[in-house]
Structures are given as C-alpha cells and as structure tokens.
C-alpha cells in the first residue's frame, strides 16, 4: 500500500507548537505501542522518508493534532476520509461488514460497490455528511469516465469539470491531463507502428494488454499527478 499523504513542514510545526523534542515524540508513540527511533521523526520532518499509515496515526496522536493536519489536505477520496478517522483498511472493512479484499479494491479502483447497509455504516464510521457521502461514492465513476474521455479525445475541454470534481486548481489538472494524454498517445503510436510494419499478432496483443493495464490504473495515476504537482504554472 502506498504511503499516505504527508507534510513534513506541518509535522515539524505541530511538534514545535507543543514544545516536544523528537525523543519525547517517540516516547509518546511508544506508549501507543509503536516503537521508532528519534531519527525516524527527524527523517519524516525532513522529507527523507514518509510515515506509513500506522506511523501517521501514532504521530498524530503523539502531537495532539488531527491526521488531516499532517496530511495537509481536506479529505476527498475514500482513503483520505478513512485516514482522517484513523482507521486501517482492515478495521474499517470489519466495521462496515465488508470483506477486506473487497474494501481494498474499492479504494484502489475508486469504485464503491457496497450494499445500502454497508454504505450507511461507512458514512457513520467516517462521519460523512450526506453530500460528502455522495461525493465519495459517486466520484469514482464520474472521475473514471471523464478521464477516459480526456485521454482519448481533447483533454483541454475536460480540465474544468475534472478540477471541480477533485477540488484542485485547473492548472494542476491541466498538467496532469497533458501528461496522461501523451502517455496514451504513445500506446496508439506503438500499436499503429507495429500494425503498419505488419508485426506478428503477439506484439500487438502485448501493446493492447499494456494499454488496458494503463487504463485500469488511470484514476490512481491521475490523482497521484494532481497530488504531486505543486509547481508554478508555465
């Protein structure tokens, strides 16, 4: 599982705000059953390493601050809302009566397929208001559809709708879409190139399979690009 979003600057600010040393932070984390050296806290604050979900939860508790503060974001996705409430994926799955692999796929594929009861329990566990719940469970389908339309057609016209959907600056979304559109175009170029060259069907099937895998991961790739693009517009 990828590391959760994390802000080194916010972590350091939270520690300094309550006047703790790294040694005192790890002592507080140890009381929660998580043992780490003081060097780990410094490496997180310096951005050398990122904490795991379990480490993030313990760090937030030790620093007496909300998890979203250390993530430096307002939760949008299912995973981010889960992290904000300090649930592991397995514990949340158990809480809502869903098997762990099914829940993990819901986060990974950004597609919610829970029953009505599981959806109500999810809203209760994560403290989601009705509009937040709808945004979380509907976002996946809308996002996936718009992204496919963007990479397969004219991406610029999808910038504004996607920016509203993921609550991100349009310039950031535009950069992500431009990158994804180019990546998708390379698959088409490779396929047509081998088709014109009359390559054997094996290679054509390989390219088609690679494209299918890329499309399956499209939403996750897009969110990663949006999350890491903090640079100035060009």
Residue that is last in its domain, among 27, 53, 73: 73
> Are 167 and 212 found together in one domain?
yes
Q: Work out how many domains the chain is built from and give that number.
A: 3
- Tokens representing 96? 């809502």
> Are 85 and 21 found together in one domain?
no
In a domain, 15, yes or no: yes
The confidence score (pLDDT) of residue 231 equals 44
For the chain, the distance separating the N- and C-terminal CA atoms, rounded to the nearest angstrom, is: 33
Nearest residue to 168 via CA among 233, 95, 117, 89? 233
> Are 153 and 224 found together in one domain?
yes
Tens digit of each residue's pLDDT, the chain (234 residues): 678 889 999 999 999 999 999 999 999 999 999 999 999 999 999 999 999 999 999 999 999 999 999 998 888 888 999 999 999 999 999 999 999 999 998 887 777 878 878 888 998 999 988 667 767 776 656 677 788 888 888 888 888 888 877 767 889 999 999 999 888 888 777 766 655 566 666 766 777 778 777 887 787 788 778 875 444 433
Expressed as residue numbers, the domain containing 107 is 75-128
CATH code: domain of residue 106 = 1.10.260.40
Region label for 36, one of left (φ > 0), alpha (ψ between -120 and 50) or beta (otherwise): beta
The confidence score (pLDDT) of residue 232 equals 42
> Are 3 and 57 found together in one domain?
yes
């Amino acid at each position: 599982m990828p590391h959760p979003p994390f802000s080194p600057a916010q972590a350091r600010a939270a520690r300094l705000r309550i006047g703790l040393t790294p040694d005192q932070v790890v002592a507080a984390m140890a009381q929660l059953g998580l043992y780490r050296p003081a060097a780990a806290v410094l490496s997180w604050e310096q951005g050398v390493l990122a904490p795991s979900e379990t480490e993030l939860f313990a760090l937030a508790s030790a620093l007496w601050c909300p998890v979203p503060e250390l993530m430096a974001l307002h939760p949008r996705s299912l995973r981010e809302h889960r992290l904000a409430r300090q649930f592991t994926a397995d514990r949340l799955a158990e809480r809502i009566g869903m098997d762990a692999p099914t829940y993990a796929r819901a986060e990974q594929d950004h597609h919610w397929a829970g029953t009505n009861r599981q959806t109500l329990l999810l809203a209760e566990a994560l403290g989601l208001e009705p509009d937040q719940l709808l945004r979380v469970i509907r976002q996946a389908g809308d996002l996936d559809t718009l992204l496919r339309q963007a990479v397969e057609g004219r991406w610029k016209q999808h910038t504004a709708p996607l920016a509203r959907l993921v609550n991100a600056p349009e310039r950031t979304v535009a950069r992500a879409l431009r990158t994804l559109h180019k990546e998708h175009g390379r698959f088409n170029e490779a396929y047509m190139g081998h088709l014109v060259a009359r390559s054997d069907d094996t290679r054509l099937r390989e390219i088609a399979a690679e494209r299918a895998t890329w499309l399956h991961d499209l939403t996750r790739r897009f969110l990663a690009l949006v999350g890491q693009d903090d640079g100035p517009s060009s």
